[in-house]
Structure 1
Amino acid sequence: MSTTSNPALGLAAVLPRAEFIERSHQRSSGLGLSRSEQRELEPMVRSDLNLARERNQRLYLHAAPVMHMLFEQIVNTESMIVLTDAAGTILHSVGDDDFLARADKVALAPGANWAEHSRGTNAIGTALFEGSPTLIHGPEHFMHANNFLTCSAAPIFDPRGNMLGVLDVTGDHRSYHQHTMGLVRMSARMIENHWLSDDYNNRLRLHFHSRAEFIGTLLEGILVVGPDGKLLGANRGALDLLGLSGAALRAQTLTSLLGTSTAAVYDHFRMPLSAPMRLSLASGQSFYVTARFDWPSRPVVAGLGLLDTEPAPAAPVKPQAEAAGPAPAAKLSGLQYLRTGDAQVDTLVQKIQRVLDRDIPLLILGETGTGKELLARAVHVDSKRARQPFVAVNCASIPESLIEAELFGYEDGAFTGARRKGASGRILQANGGTLFLDEIGDMPLPLQARLLRVLQERSVTPLGSAKSIPVDIAVFCATHRNLREMIAAQSFREDLYYRLNGLAVRIPALRERSDLDAIVRRILLAERPQDAPTLSPPVAALFASYHWPGNIRQLANVLRTAAVMSAGEAQITPAHLSDDFLEDAAASLGRAAAARPQPASVAVMPVQELPAVAAEPPAASLQQAEAAMRASRIPLSQEASLGQTLEQAEIEMIRAALAAVGGNISAASKQLGISRNTIYRKLHWNAGPAEG
């Protein structure tokens, strides 16, 4: 569909369009430009253009994929896409070849400047001046030489409102489509949103709209919130929805703007698939709000250490915890950094160091969450292959129908849905470096035979190809399964097992390790390097007694939330821990208590005989009991022989109630008629060290 209609955009939404164009023409005349003569402006020399591109490299990196996607929408329409910097200099362009040649005749090409002072009224220059999306159609251009063009341009801003550049689609005015301006505006917003996410990937971001179905679209607003609740930045959608300027928004806090706090937001969105919050401005206007927080990708926090997550780093990231003195000149060992004081881990590291760079396959065993991939990366970092790729494949996460293509690659047309030109597999991607096969026990039997052949022949044959390609890879594998049992059940090949099992090492579960405190310190320092908190005594006691079924991954997730919830505070207390973790911890304490034999002198009231509503025991009597125990300074073993105090009897009653309801702290609190915090506090007092 072609049209010569000119939708009102930018300031034209406020001013009549004719007046909007006339204002720009007056500015152009005032600059001494002539409508009938094309100014002879030489584009930048190549070196200056390269310098401008280098200064705006980040803008191009965010804009390039959006430009490519946009070009797919306008291909073969006699059009081109232009990216400029904040001064109006064209950095990059892409378009139909014939139209690029026509545009070059009016210097619409990289290196040329299209600000109003150079080209008069045009979409790029006028959008830069007005700071809003602008359409300039045919004869609306100030210079007659540009009248064959229709240009749709939108400025690009960073989250603080600074102009970054302009995205523009220019085409023959006879084939202008009324939807082009909308595509350009949406594309500019995509670039802005990518920039915002990149700037604030480790900050809380609130995505909101007055209609819930618009969250996740380009119409949503995005607010960036600091740990103290200050608003750090926003996208243009947020400013439009809130009716605020960037400066006015940054003067607000989350509480003053939306009447909530960061703690309330984190508490609401702790659980997966949480429903959007409903928050309101002081004016009464309400929004649906969801929260996102992309934890920093630079370190892998698994307690064992902090390593760069990018493949093949020249050296691991310098440790941020417990550094003594200046950093050594030599490359820090990834394996050494994993040593945090546990004897089992020390022995494991020593074993691996003996076989490093000996072309011996490594099989890493251990429960889920113990840090198997982190160990594999550390070995890679210490090896001669450190500057080559580290390619990790989780055999359990790839559908069985795709894992063969994923590993071995495929030729064009190898199967329905295959990419044009085919794709290299993960084995070829790891050539020269390390291939890490996580959850190898989940690899289908037919693929086990193919993998064995690759390891024996040191070559790989992509699907649909008859050509074998030589590969040079180190192979590390990991699993939480018992491969020997799988061999006996004929679900894992014995010959592959012995091929992979050059050296088998087992990472101990977190509950079996003696370095919990050091791991906690390291994780907290990574999460809050400026003001790392410590654990309060009740939390430290809980962590020491908890069984950690998710191991270090679970510990990192618990501490990650707690570090945010305790922002501005020196200690992490039970109030900073998520409810689901507290309930599971209380349940495990209840199960442990139920499994212990009860002392004969203790009479525990059956749960069914408890009153429906019970007041908390008088504080004075509990305090007197505690004071008497502490004043006597009797060791716990002697205390038990003298008979239980009221506090101890109450704790046993709470444990019995928890055991009866399967550890559900909410159900137990209802049964006992006391609050969940009371249950948690009293169990922790009992679990903590005696005060002498």
Structure 2
Amino acid sequence: MTGLFPPTRSGRPRRTASAARGLVAGHALGNVSPGHQTAIAHSHERCAALGLSRIERPDHALIGMSDLAVARDRNFRLYAHAAPVMEMLHEQITNTDSMVVLTDATGTILHSIGDAEFLGKASKVALQPGANWSEGNKGTNAVGTALVDEVPTLVHAEEHFMHANHFLTCSAAPILDPRGNILGVLDVSGEQRSYHQHTMALVKMSARMIENHWLTDDYRHVMRLHFHHRADYIGTLMEGILAVAPDGKIVGANRGALDQLGLSGAALRMHSLASLFGIAVGALVDRFRSPLAVPMPVHLPNGRPFFVYARFNWPVWTSVAEAADQALSSSTAPVEDARLRSPPPAPVSPREVGGLAALETGDSQLEAVIGKVRRVLDRDIPVLILGDTGTGKELLARAIHEASARRHQPFVAVNCAAIPENLIEAELFGHEEGAFTGARRKGAVGKILQASGGTLFLDEIGDMPLAFQARLLRVLQERQVTPLGSSKALAVDVALVCATHRNLRDMMDAKQFRDDLYYRLNGLAVRMPCLSERSDLPVLVERILTQQQAGRRLSLSASVAAMFQAYHWPGNVRQLFNVLRTAAVMAPDESVITEAHLPDDFLEDVRRSSPVQRTVMAATPSVSPSLSMLGTVPTWPAGSTMAASGAATEARSLQDMEIDAIRQAVEQAGGNISEAAKRLGVSRNTIYRKLRWREG
């Protein structure tokens, strides 16, 4: 059988038939498109022509630290826009043996984040900052081939030219500036066994988010025209965005615009609004200065229909000519300057004293969440909070509101799981008198209208009925709501925060949650860590006890402190709060909380729990000498009141017992942390954290 490719001039075959079959078989899906196979084939031809070897050990040399620093400085603005998006993307793929990679336009890796175990494997093939992954250096790979073809690219397993990279599956998308020039590449690489069809979609969405932020930063003072052939897609990452000069010339576009119009960046800049859509700037200013304006239908010269929505930061002028003059004077020179500036980091605002700053407790995971949220405050980006029940999702939502410019306006929380399905529409949209049986005599204002000007928090959004999701999406897109029984649409302006404990991506696969609503809600996704994964338990205990102490100083005995540390807290922060509140009530005239003050069901759950917790309880007397919890563990806040030295020694011995139990479990599991965690009934993070504390 002949090979897939003809031999090179030197007579060396470029690709064998068996390897060609691997292009399809390697996906384990069997639905690889002919276009994909052709792109891989052409890439292999290029690599063979360059004289690259498939089997020889590739060059894993990295550029020097000084050269990497220069490359990062040169691309600082790209990094500033990409870093928060990379964090969000990593949250979506965590624990999948994967990593997120950012490269510059030459293929040099600038930044990467990922699962620790996989980062070690990736470093063995130089998939790390400082390495160049252009085709000329690494053969066919997602980053290098995406740079050549200038399109999103998947390279899976044996599709990599070099054998050393066959263990990888990589999905990459170029990042374009508003003029269509490549800024760099965003890539997700992982073990080939971890391949998932959603990965490429997430990468493309993330690249578009970076591009849209870049475009908005460049053209914040000119008109931006948002369009799509479906009106309900305007406002999502699927929309096209055009930057329009005051004279109607198109000066910039995002990837969505190029894809939908089928034009290159250079070809699109030859157009004006008049030649493209047959409309003038003045008509758009007149139509979209009203907050009630809805998307406007337009047509391309070939008759293809679209809907457009214009946004501009200009004031309302008395004439279009004056608007154009002012927009021109404020946009022409500053735009060029803005391209050379990197966005400044978001400082902690004084208004955050009761907002996000109040959530800072020293836990690194929570600090990362707060840092991401600060970057998108007041930027009209919806926030989706993920996390198990009781982790504090609503607390974060309220903190976001308090830290925003809307803090003096309403914060309206809606639990989508608690409203009967037949009433959710009336609850959110409101209703006129007599709109349905049982309606209030004078009607009712819906939750969305109540939140106008402020923040709307949709808790447990994953429990929203599927039939209602389309209506909610339309309200969010059009920014207006029509109460039941009314024909009048009312404008609304809300900052949107949603939360769920469900896996929305799995629900999308099962057709239980709409894809378009998910993309509309998922501007920034953050995950609240479980309490067992956090390192700030002492700080949380101190704050809760301060709320409950009513003029007295409450603390925990050594046995309770050790018990709290070892417990897995399935109910998370909510459970901790309820346990401490009950204990404070049960100890009205005492200053130290002991086991006698704790709820019986909690103690029973502790006794039934993991070997680590049973070891601690068995070794701990039921009533210990008075000891402030803040003084029991060396890693807890410095400067706290310390109890007698004998009690502190006792607490440390309890810690030693716990560490010994963990080490014994790890040894019995042959060093397998996952297996040890399973046997102990704790998370891997708990084991890592406690062993690190001990070694430090």
Q: Place the TM-score, normalised by the shorter chain, in its bin.
A: 0.3 to 0.5
Query: TM-score under structure 1 normalisation?
Result: 0.45
